[in-house]
């Protein structure tokens, strides 16, 4: 029932998985982790809670200790190299300060040096608020480290079938929001699920989901890999914000530019222009003309022609459910004109633009 309409995953060097509960890595991501680990990808798991709020107690004993042991066993089965089990409160993870959650992910990124992060889709997939909080923290940390983030998701037909049968709140994605299809074996995942005996004894929803998915998993980018340079000519800076394009985001970009002495003199709504003039549809795409008057004054003093390269363009555009903010590198003024006297002005402008972009993810 699920076709291979999406391409397969790009190569992954080292994978950091960030989840809320012990068993998320197996019940949700087990087949994906097993497939990557068997192909030689080192995998680490950061789990924010001990899962102590679970109402399932199929095993006697202190649930926190039981679930920690189950996670270790499942990690061995899935070939996970490193496990960080943290002690944030299960069920109310969203009430923990985001900065604390982000700091934990940042620490593991520093030690494990992943090339990619893997998380639950930002819907939480099952709708659990802890899943949403875990993903949000991972996204922030990844944005700071400029790492791409992949999310595990379900197709809409699978989510709809589960919800109809079990009254659950699974969130599925339509095909256009799914980036990758991954053929998977289930054997190791089923063993890892069995290792979580306190949670998996009687779980008809899980069994039904795995049956519906068969040998298929689906993923999407929450943060795409950076891609700004053409060959080795870098002509701009990019900052990726883990939030959707909204007027509020645009205002935040303008405020950050203003903080660095740039007024926005022009604003071109490319999406609206192409829609009105050509009747074509595209993602949100704004070009802001940013101007720092003292710098413009200095540049014009060196070269009257420099107006051809002014004002400094800053692009704010939607990229899936993230937003890209890109600024032209002012050093282009020096390379295009061949006038080294412009370099001090370009250096000053570059430092201010970088500071403005950096402040957006601080
Ligand atoms: Zn969970």
Residue pLDDT, tens place only, 89-133? 999 999 999 999 999 999 999 999 999 999 999 999 999 999 999
Q: What is the DSSP string of 132-158?
A: HHHHHHHHHHHHHHT--EEEEEEEHHH
What pLDDT is attached to residue 233? 46
What pLDDT is attached to residue 228? 43
Within 10 angstroms of residue 111's Cβ, the number of other Cβ atoms is: 11
For residue 232, pLDDT beyond 70: no
Centre of ligand 1 from the C-alpha of residue 350, in Å: 44
Tell me if 70 sits within 8 A of 23, measured CB to CB. Answer: yes
Residue 48, burial from CB neighbour count under 10 angstroms (0-12, 13-18, 19+): buried
- Reported as a pLDDT band with limits 50, 70 and 90, residue 50 is very high
Mean pLDDT to the nearest integer, 48-68: 83
Centre of ligand 1 from the C-alpha of residue 23, in Å: 7
- Reported as a pLDDT band with limits 50, 70 and 90, residue 144 is confident
Mean pLDDT to the nearest integer, 335-356: 87
For residue 58, pLDDT beyond 60: no
Centre of ligand 1 from the C-alpha of residue 4, in Å: 27
- Reported as a pLDDT band with limits 50, 70 and 90, residue 234 is low
As a whole-number percent, the residues of the chain with pLDDT over 70 amount to 94
Centre of ligand 1 from the C-alpha of residue 7, in Å: 27
End-to-end CA distance of the chain: 44
According to CATH, where is 3.30.310.70 located in the chain? 236-361
What pLDDT is attached to residue 60? 59
What pLDDT is attached to residue 28? 98
Centre of ligand 1 from the C-alpha of residue 92, in Å: 12
How far apart (Å, rounded) are the C-alpha atoms in residues 29 and 198?
18
* C-alpha dist (Å) from residue 175 to 4, 119, 181, 217, 297: 10, 19, 10, 13, 51
Tell me if 273 sits within 8 A of 289, measured CB to CB. Answer: no
Centre of ligand 1 from the C-alpha of residue 88, in Å: 13
Residue pLDDT, tens place only, 254-288? 999 999 999 999 999 999 999 999 999 999 999 99
Record the tokens describing residue 351, joined without a space.
Answer: 């430092």
Centre of ligand 1 from the C-alpha of residue 90, in Å: 9
Record the tokens describing residue 177, joined without a space.
Answer: 């929001």
Higher pLDDT among residues 4 and 220, named by residue: 220
Question: pTM of the predicted model, to two decimals?
Answer: 0.66
What pLDDT is attached to residue 251? 97
Average of per-residue pLDDT values in the chain: 91
The protein residues having their C-beta less than 5 angstroms from ligand 1 (an ion) are: 21, 24
Tell me if 189 sits within 8 A of 31, measured CB to CB. Answer: yes
Tell me if 81 sits within 8 A of 44, measured CB to CB. Answer: yes
Residue 219, burial from CB neighbour count under 10 angstroms (0-12, 13-18, 19+): buried
- Right CATH for 236-361 from 3.40.190.10, 3.30.310.70, 1.10.1040.50, 3.60.130.10: 3.30.310.70
Mean pLDDT to the nearest integer, 147-176: 95
For residue 8, pLDDT beyond 80: no
How far apart (Å, rounded) are the C-alpha atoms in residues 199 and 303?
71
- Right CATH for 15-223 from 2.160.10.10, 3.40.50.10320, 3.30.70.270, 3.40.50.150: 3.40.50.10320
Phi, psi of 269 (to 5 degrees): -90, 95
Centre of ligand 1 from the C-alpha of residue 230, in Å: 41
Mean pLDDT to the nearest integer, 41-62: 85
According to CATH, where is 3.40.50.10320 located in the chain? 15-223
Centre of ligand 1 from the C-alpha of residue 315, in Å: 37
Record the tokens describing residue 75, joined without a space.
Answer: 């990690």
Centre of ligand 1 from the C-alpha of residue 20, in Å: 6
Within 10 angstroms of residue 339's Cβ, the number of other Cβ atoms is: 17
Residue pLDDT, tens place only, 297-331? 999 999 998 999 889 999 999 998 899 999 988 88
How far apart (Å, rounded) are the C-alpha atoms in residues 206 and 208?
5
Centre of ligand 1 from the C-alpha of residue 280, in Å: 41
- Reported as a pLDDT band with limits 50, 70 and 90, residue 361 is confident
């Amino acid at each position: 029932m699920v076709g291979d309409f999406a391409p397969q995953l790009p190569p992954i060097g080292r994978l950091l998985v960030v989840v809320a509960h012990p068993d998320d890595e197996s019940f949700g991501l087990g087949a994906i982790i097993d497939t990557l680990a068997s192909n030689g990808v080192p995998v680490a798991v950061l789990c924010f809670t001990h899962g102590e709020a679970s109402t399932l107690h199929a095993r006697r004993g202190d649930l926190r200790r039981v679930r920690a042991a189950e996670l270790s066993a499942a990690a061995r089965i899935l070939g996970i190299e490193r496990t960080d089990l943290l002690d944030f409160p299960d069920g109310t993870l969203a009430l923990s300060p985001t900065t604390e959650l982000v700091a934990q992910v940042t620490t593991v990124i520093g030690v494990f040096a992943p090339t990619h992060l893997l998380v639950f889709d930002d819907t939480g997939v099952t709708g659990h608020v802890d899943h949403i909080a875990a993903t949000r923290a991972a996204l922030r940390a990844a944005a700071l480290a400029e790492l791409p983030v992949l999310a595990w998701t379900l197709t809409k037909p699978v989510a709809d079938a589960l919800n109809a049968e079990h009254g659950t709140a699974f969130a599925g994605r339509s095909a256009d929001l799914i980036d990758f299809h991954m053929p998977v074996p289930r054997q190791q995942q089923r063993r890892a699920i069995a290792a979580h005996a306190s949670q998996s004894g009687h779980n008809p929803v899980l069994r039904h989901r795995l049956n519906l998915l068969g040998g298929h998993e689906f993923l999407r980018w929450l943060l795409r890999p950076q891609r700004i340079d053409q060959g080795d000519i870098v002509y701009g800076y990019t900052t990726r914000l883990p939030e959707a394009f909204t007027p509020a985001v645009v205002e935040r970009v303008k405020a950050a530019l203003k903080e660095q002495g740039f007024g926005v003199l022009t604003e071109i709504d490319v999406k609206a222009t192409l829609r009105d003039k050509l009747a074509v549809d595209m993602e949100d795409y704004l070009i802001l003309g940013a101007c720092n008057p003292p710098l413009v004054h200095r540049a014009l003093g060196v070269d009257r022609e420099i107006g051809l390269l002014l004002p400094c363009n800053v692009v704010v555009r939607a990229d899936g459910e993230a937003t890209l903010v890109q600024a032209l590198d002012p050093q282009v003024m020096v390379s295009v004109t061949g006038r080294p006297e412009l370099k001090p002005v370009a250096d000053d402008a570059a430092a201010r633009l970088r500071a403005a972009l950096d402040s957006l993810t601080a």
